[in-house]
């Protein structure tokens, strides 16, 4: 399941609208839109739904979190090997709702790489974006916490900050692909994000809580193609 | 999937011997022994294996951990509703490798009850066992951390402490069922635990890392019947 | 510096009104009122002010937190021995703003006892109050988080819950002295708390942010004497 | 109290040899050696000793940790304003024994700057050193955890890693001053560290647990002058 850009990455969070069969429906919609448009759409379900969804769709499936651990005595934590074995191809790390100790982000990125998982490490401002880039993840997703879940898009509310985040990420580590997120609900938001230099978006409620997730995703994917 | 006592609860931890198909094999062995002997054997796989194993066997499946959260914005955490929806019937809480803030244990027990999950809350000494009992879980599993993973059984190394843990749990809250764990690897260990007043055991490496898990489980289940 | 009941315990939190010299002024006011009325008034300044205040007043000084550690390599944590050596006679543990893992509350209470510090362990509801009592602290302070800092007193808003908290604490462990807190700002609030069976109150903004802390403390101490 | 380089920064940790009066003696020894040699020697006592030591010696005093908080309701946490008011001129942040969430390191550095505290942020490897430099602290102290407390000096055991850490720190942010630590116990270790491009060392047991701390500090300060 190739992860390519531009990417629309849908974080299911722990919304009731995304548990089990409901999450599978969203993944099916994402798969259809991805096939229609050629735009990469990935989903990040809850841990207990990873395998079921990864087995059911041909789009990239991400975990929402991994722990920086090796196989062993870590009851209840999320082993990178288990995530990879379930069929996921990548993982979010350090989402603003699940922040990690700095050394643990570093170790989680290493562990993900060892087991073949792509990493999307989240950042909350310019300085933290630069710090994240130094840790060498595949993607850095800049998300200002105060806009998450608001419907006010980072790409229109703070265009200059997105531009600067992209710049510092590129400067510190040109191999890291910049994404942005927070408040993204429309195709225009996605297009604006791409025009600011990102190669994709991370979003959640804009799709998961939409009345018609497929419609929103079509709108977003088609907008992404306009860039 | 009825949870009854005496119970043998196998915690898969994040051992490499328990990921995916390997974990399923252990669950199948547990199911066979449970059917042969009538003893309740439950398994606690990793989050990403919960659904697959719950769909494949007719024994109780437990999560290793839940977070004390409601549906919403909790990226990467373990929603009780999602665990229940995956087919699990219960969960460990506060394992010594995954300790929770006191108020969160209380809230996790409430949330588990709301979604119909049985709760096994772990404790590490007499006073903490009494505190756990006050929180009204279904089970309290006393496990002295220094014996976990050693192969030295709590039920033979510290019989008088197990007896006292059982007493304080019963005194604080007669509805809470006492279990014990740490170092349990043989049928004799299980029988000793039951004779000390517990109604079951929590164990991990003794089964998961055994050369022949089914053989160990048969030995344990048959010993449990001798009480 | 004897800790006796009824007790009025003033938590300085990290309010700017309580740092350094300002905190000392509040402690001096508490000392005067305590001498005038004979009511025990204790203060809980920030760590860096403990010694200066303990050396300057003849009332009990508490820390706001200790860590469950022994002397050693614990950079930046709060060693019980250091708190005792600074002149404090007790410590808060598990305040709702600084919650601890259950096993760590247990260990912190033990460590405090070893170094001669009195312990006030906070709880947020009935079940947690019972759990705290099982850990054998000197005091259990029941504080419903939603009333903290509101000025709506727990003792008038939830009298029946305070009564039940007192009952369960006494039932689980008769040696533990019940306190209550949250929203306490007047002498009437203190008197109500004592009439409900507590032996004192834990408060913060009601005194620290008052225009005239001494006046508030006089009012409270005199009300406490009416019981 | 000027903080200048080369700097020898002595972390008192929570060693019993550094509590109260014993910590003051070490600070007095550091002051004497600093006056004799002109080398900057700073001490980082426990929170409850900060004020007493800052008032007693004319060398820079650092806190071992601050929390990324503003004045308010944060019972038991370490307010940057309170640390500054106590007379400390700087603080360690993210010591390997007290690691912080990435966004909190960023915020702690900001808050320290706002209240006039110098920041020494610790890192555990090359990538994390680069990440720390991106957060713009005054100093970044590279300390491989496996050598901390061993007496095996990072500057002799891993010279090439120290050199690389210095390089990446300088490359990411030329304003950040590199230090190193772990296992430093002799003047030769200090000299080696300076020759590798650092501008000072962070150490603990090598001084605090020495039979004659003053003698060790003299040896270190004189070696520092040889560079």
Q: What is the pLDDT of residue A152?
A: 86
Contact B48 A50 (CB under 8 A): yes
Q: How far is CA C19 from CA C78, C82, C92, D146, in A?
A: 18, 20, 18, 38
- Of the residues B97, B100, B103, the best mutation for testing chain C's interface (the one with the most C CB atoms within 10 Å of its CB) is B103
CATH number for the domain spanning A83: value is 3.20.20.70
D with B: touching (≥3 Cβ pairs within 8 Å): no
Percent of chain D with pLDDT over 70: 100
The partner residue sitting opposite D13, judged by closest CB among C50, C73, C78, is C73
A119 interface with D at CB cutoff 8 Å: no
Judge contact between C191 and C227, C-beta under 8 A.
Answer: yes
Q: Which of D44, D40, D5 is CA-nearest to residue D204?
A: D44
Q: Does D100 touch chain A (CB under 8 A)?
A: yes
Residue A76 included in any domain: yes
The active-site residue out of A95, A158, A199, A218 is: A95
Strand partners, D142: D123, D180
pLDDT in tens, C79-123: 999 999 999 999 999 999 999 999 999 999 999 999 999 999 999
D172-198: pLDDT as tens digits: 999 999 999 988 999 999 999 999 999
Q: Is D126 on the interface with C (CB under 8 A)?
A: no
Residue B155 lies in a domain: yes
User: Does residue B1 sit within a domain?
Assistant: no
pLDDT band at D156 (very low <50, low <70, confident <90, very high): confident
Residue indicated by tokens 């999320």: A78
Which tokens belong to C146? 């939603």
Active site residues of D: 95, 143
Residues D190 and D7: their CA atoms lie apart, in Å, by: 10
- Give the span between the Cα atoms of A39 and A33, in whole angstroms: 8
3-state secondary structure string across chain B: CCCCCCEEEEECCECHHHCCHHHHHHHHHHHHHHHHHCCEEEEECCHHHHHHHHHHCCCCEEECCCCCCCCECCCCCCCHHHHHHCCCCEEEECCCCCCCEHHHHHHHHHHHHHHCCEEEEEECCHHHHHHHHHCCCCEEEECCHHHCCCCCCHHHHCHHHHHHHHHHHHHHCCCCEEEEECCCCCHHHHHHHHHCCCCEEEECHHHHCCCCHHHHHHHHHHHHHHC
Residue A128: alpha-carbon gap to chain centroid: 17
Whether D148 has a pLDDT exceeding 90, the answer reads: no
Listed as ranges, residues in chain C with pLDDT below 50 are none
Record: contact C14-D77, CB cut-off 8 A: yes
DSSP string computed for C29-94: HHHHHHHHH--EEEEE--GGGHHHHHHH-SS-BEES---S--SBS-TTS--HHHHHHTT--EEEES
For residue A91, the chain B residue with the least C-alpha distance is B76
Closest alpha carbon within chain A to D100 = A101
Query: What ranges make up the beta strands (E) of D36-130?
Result: 40-44, 62-63, 90-93, 118-123
pLDDT of residue D39: 97
Q: Which helix (H) or strand (E) holds C179?
A: strand C177-181
The reply to whether residue A135 touches residue D125, judged by beta carbons under 8 angstroms, is: no
C-alpha distance from D181 to closest chain C C-alpha (Å): 14
Given CB atoms, is B121 within the 8 Å cutoff of chain C? no
Residue-range definition of the domain harbouring residue C132: 7-225
Whether the CB of A1 is below 8 Å from some CB of chain B: the reply is: no
Q: Which chain C residues have a beta carbon less than 8 Å from that of B121?
A: none
Sheet holding C7-11, edge to edge: C40-44, C7-11, C200-203, C177-181, C139-142, C118-123, C90-93, C62-63
Q: Is pLDDT at D157 greater than 90 in this prediction?
A: no
Q: Which of C101, C105, C131 sits opposite B135 (nearest CB)?
A: C131
Do A87 and A50 touch, CB atoms closer than 8 A?
yes
Min Cα–Cα distance to chain A from D85, Å? 28
D168 to chain A: nearest residue by CA? Answer: A134
Q: In what order do the strands lie in the sheet with D200-203?
A: D40-44, D7-11, D200-203, D177-181, D139-142, D118-123, D90-93, D62-63
Evaluate whether residue D80 is within a structural domain: yes
Where chain A has pLDDT below 50, the residues are none
pLDDT tens, position by position, for chain B (227 residues)?
Answer: 799 999 999 999 999 999 999 999 999 999 999 999 999 999 999 999 999 999 999 999 999 999 999 999 999 999 999 999 999 999 999 999 999 999 999 999 999 999 999 999 999 999 999 999 999 999 999 998 888 878 888 888 888 999 999 999 999 999 999 999 988 999 999 999 999 999 999 999 999 999 999 999 999 999 999 88
- Residue C96 and residue D74 in contact, taking contact as beta carbons nearer than 8 Å: no
User: Among all chains, which residue has been given the structure tokens 């600074």?
Assistant: C86
Partners of B105 on chain C (C-beta within 8 Å) are 102
Q: Exposed, middle or buried: residue B154 (CB in 10 Å: 0-12, 13-18, 19+)?
A: buried
Residues of C in contact with D149 (CB under 8 A): 73
pTM for the full predicted model: 0.96
The answer to whether residue A143 is catalytic is yes
Q: What is the Cα–Cα distance from D116 to D139, expressed in whole angstroms?
A: 14
Look at C75 and D65 and tell me if their CB atoms are within 8 Å.
yes
Instruction: State the nearest Cα–Cα gap between D103 and chain A, in angstroms.
Output: 7
Please indicate whether, in this complex, the C-beta atoms of C98 and D77 are within 8 angstroms of each other.
yes
Please judge whether C106 and B99 are an interchain contact, meaning their C-beta atoms are less than 8 angstroms apart. no
Question: Quick one: pLDDT at residue C146?
Answer: 84
- In three-state secondary structure terms, D9 is strand
- Provide the number of structural domains found in chain B: 1
Q: Give residue D213's pLDDT band: very low, low, confident or very high (50, 70, 90).
A: very high
Give the tokens for residue A222. 């088609």
B154 located within any domain = yes
Tell me whether D94 touches chain C (CB under 8 Å).
no
pLDDT value at residue B222: 96
Whether A1 is covered by a domain: the verdict is: no
CB proximity C22 to B under 8 Å: no
Pairwise CB contact (< 8 Å): C83 & D48: yes
Is residue A107 flagged as an active site residue? no
Q: How far is CA D220 from the centre of its chain?
A: 15
Give the pLDDT score at A153.
87
Q: What is the mean pLDDT of residues D68-75?
A: 98
The pLDDT value given to residue A28? 98
> Cα dist. A130→A134, A167, A181, D133, D136 in Å?
6, 9, 16, 9, 10
Give partners of A (≥3 CB pairs < 8 A).
Answer: B, D
Which chain C residue has the Cα nearest residue D145? C73
Note whether residue D207 is domain-resident: yes
For residue C192, being part of any structural domain is answered with yes
Q: What is the ipTM of this complex?
A: 0.95
Question: Of B16, B48, B204, which has the smallest distance from its Cβ to A86's Cβ?
Answer: B48
| Contact B106/C at CB under 8 A | yes
């Amino acid at each position: 399941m190739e992860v390519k850009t531009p990417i629309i990455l849908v974080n299911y969070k722990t919304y009731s609208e995304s548990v089990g069969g409901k999450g599978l429906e969203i993944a099916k919609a994402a798969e259809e839109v991805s096939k229609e448009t050629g735009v990469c759409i990935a989903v990040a379900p809850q841990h207990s739904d990873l395998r079921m969804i990864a087995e059911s769709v041909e789009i990239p499936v991400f975990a929402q979190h991994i722990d920086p651990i090796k196989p062993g005595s870590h009851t209840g934590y999320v082993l990178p090997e288990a995530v990879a074995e379930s069929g996921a191809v990548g993982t979010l790390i350090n989402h603003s709702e699940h922040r990690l100790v700095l050394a643990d982000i570093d170790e989680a990125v290493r562990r993900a790489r060892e087991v073949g998982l792509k990493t999307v490490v989240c950042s909350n401002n310019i300085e933290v974006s630069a710090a994240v880039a130094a840790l060498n993840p595949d993607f850095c997703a800049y998300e200002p916490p105060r806009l998450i879940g608001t419907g006010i898009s980072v790409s229109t509310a703070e265009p200059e900050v997105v531009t600067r985040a992209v710049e510092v990420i590129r400067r510190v580590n040109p191999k890291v692909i910049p994404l942005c997120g927070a408040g993204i609900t429309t195709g225009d938001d996605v297009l604006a994000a791409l025009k600011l230099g990102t190669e994709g978006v991370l979003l959640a409620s804009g799709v998961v809580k939409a009345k018609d997730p497929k419609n929103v995703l079509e709108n977003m994917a088609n907008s992404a193609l306009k860039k």
